[in-house]
Amino acid sequence: MPSSYKPYFQLQVSSLLAEFINNEVFPSLSLKISQQEFWQGFSILTRDLAKTNKHLLLERERLRDALNDWHTKNPGPITDLDHYKSYLRTIGYLQERPKSIEKILTAHIDHEMSLQAGPQLVVPISNARYALNAINARWGSLYDALYGSDVIEERSGLEKGDKYNVARGLEVVKYVRKFLDKVIPLDSQASHFAVDQYVVDAEGKLMAHLTAGNWVHLENPLALVGYQGAPDDPSGLLFKHNELHIQILINRHSAVGREDVSGVADVLVESALTTILDFEDSVSTVDAEDKVQAYRNWLGIVKGTLSVSMTKGDRSFHRSLNEDVFYTDARSKTLASLHGRSLLLIRNVGHLMTNPAILYQGDAGEWNEIPEGIMDAVVTSLIAVYDLQKNRDHPLRNSRCGSVYIVKPKMHGPEEVAFSCEIFRRVEGLLGLTENTLKIGIMDEERRTSLNLLACIEKAKYRVVFINTGFLDRTGDEIHTALCAGAVLRKGDMKHSDWIKAYELNNVASGLVSGFSKKAQIGKGMWAMPDLMALMMSTKIGQLKAGASTGWVPSPTAATLHALHYHEVDVFQQQDVLAEAISDLSIFDKYLDSLLQIPVLATPSWSQTEILEELNNNVQGILGYVVRWIDQGVGCSKVPDIYNVGLMEDRATLRISSQHIANWLRHGIVNREQVLQTFENMAKVVDEQNKMDMAYCPMAGHLSQSLAYQAALALVFEGEVETNGYTEPILHTYRLRHKNKVIG
């Protein structure tokens, strides 16, 4: 074996990873096993589980071939639904719906996942600064979020500009006061805008003095939870509404507070209740070097030592984990605290990819790359033991309930969910953890999972804490499934398909009948346009009305603004209403029928202008994302689309675009020469969009030497045969070639 690997039983472990685990993770970690026993157990676990992992991937291929065969013989939209369902059951793709639905039995779930509803951030674990910003986004400045976003329109006189705009600031204050009037109203129909002084009386009730000279109280006295400073001259007031907290900060000496009649310097809202630290779609971790960087950041977060210093212009910043928020309880007058950071989940990779950081020996003596999902489960859980060993009241503890939350993506059906649970069970045994310490979040983002979601939940009923709709990957899998059926709809039209509406409804309904309300999260997907916050505020509230207790947002600012929706809608009350409507389980049969309607046209009639427009959009998006992934190792970033609208792009959006072109190629909507010409044209567009990026490597004029460009072509022209249409295998291959300086 290469000298860069160290032997541990039937594993060969990269020296980088071995030294990290042995020298950085193990010291001061209290485990019932020695390092030697850990490596031995890891070796046995890997050999056992890798066999099942391989079997499940072969099963995916068998089902893909069976579906392609059926759609080739029965092209076009589904016309005989009963025949189609019968076939899917015969091949094992579709299971019968359970006659009765079991409630989940997960225990020890933190309040942020169960009794509170609010925004959820997803952040690449490989970027320490982004990770710290997301974790600290538990509390967000409403003043900053509104001032810096388009929620406050930049009409004449209200521009952001280079210096503070007093007029714009006043609009922000008006917006916030209206929000306070709505969620923590004063009695006598008084407005917070008319308050010039807040005090807390001897009974722990808020008294607000109005500019008109009279005193008023809160309409709901119990809305005041606590305060900071002296009760007759508080520096902070803490309120609760819909189980979410709001802080009014008072400082008459601050730049903002001295201009405010009541001295209010800022209003903080509880924003990102939970944050997913992502080891998957938003990162580029292709080898031991990359994986160790990601694992090291997770270790620093769990130990509370991760910090980042940076300079912007003439200012320097230092980021570390926020401490808890301390206040005086309004009624007991005792000191209390609230979480200062998001509750953290970690997203491991799925079952598909392998990684050269560890090699394991197969039955024939051959050396194979380890399934990356198995490696992630062991290493991230090992690191999480640091958190489990902290005292419950530790100021930087993540889970107060002693749980580790692992989001598991890209699982195809109940067998794969059961396999994830088996991985977690084996890891618990290895590390000496109590059974079901490792919780699972099920990403409902693959077609076979959607069709069998109730069975998937049942397989994880002792561990599941989360289901959500990842509509981007789900769309990619829908396109790949329909590859042989016909030309798929344009992407914009697909958003309005019957299947995607049923997909969203089925997910929430499955969670509610399985007992998720006030126990586990039901989530919705990402808002992908971080600059269009006004549009988000008018749109994303629909996810709450549909029954979601969390929704993904692309930035701390978006989390702060989206948090306002959870004050406007009582999610748990909404879930109670929705649950009454799904008491008849036959509704799932209706959802199933819609889910099975594949988005293809029998006779496409697009004009050449429409076809070119769609092709340009797809190709530009592919190149804009891939060039950063391959050349810079950036797994998720804001990429300008063909209209220069910044979109948060990750592998899920790439999967859609590449599969869409592959489908149109197969069915003759476009041809190879047309696609190649479009790629050449769009390379120039993407180069121009990135000309201010000093780290950017232009593609135009160097197409044959650009690994990023070649990877983008491969994603399209090899997309038909890639497992489930995933982009990871090609991206990893070309990124490794880039890191190893292999050109051509």
Look at residue 175 and give its three-state secondary structure: helix
Pick the catalytic residue from 138, 347, 655, 735. 347
Q: Which contiguous run of DSSP H or E holds residue 665?
A: helix 651-666
CA 658 to chain centre: 22
Q: Estimate the share of the chain in helix, then strand, then coil, as percent rounded to the nearest 5.
A: 45, 20, 35
Q: What is the CA radius of gyration of the chain?
A: 27
The number of beta carbons lying within 10 Å of the beta carbon of residue 688 is 11
Q: Kindly give the pairing relationship between strand 438-444 and strand 404-408.
A: parallel
Print burial letters for 238-262: b (CB count within 10 Å at least 16), e (below 16): bbbbbbbbbbbbbbeeeebbeebeb
Look at residue 8 and give its three-state secondary structure: strand
252 is catalytic: no
How many angstroms separate the CA atoms of 571 and 243, rounded?
10
Pick the catalytic residue from 463, 650, 655, 687. 650
Distances (CA, A) of 398 to 36, 59, 206, 271, 516: 29, 38, 32, 16, 22
239-243 long-range contacts (CB < 8 A, ≥24 apart) are 239/183, 239/184, 241/183, 241/184, 241/567, 242/117, 242/183, 242/566, 242/567, 242/570, 242/571, 243/115, 243/116, 243/117
How many angstroms separate the CA atoms of 643 and 624, rounded?
12
Q: Which residue has the tokens 């948060």?
A: 648
397 is catalytic: no
Look at residue 663 and give its three-state secondary structure: helix
CA 530 to chain centre: 14
Q: Which residues are catalytic?
A: 347, 650
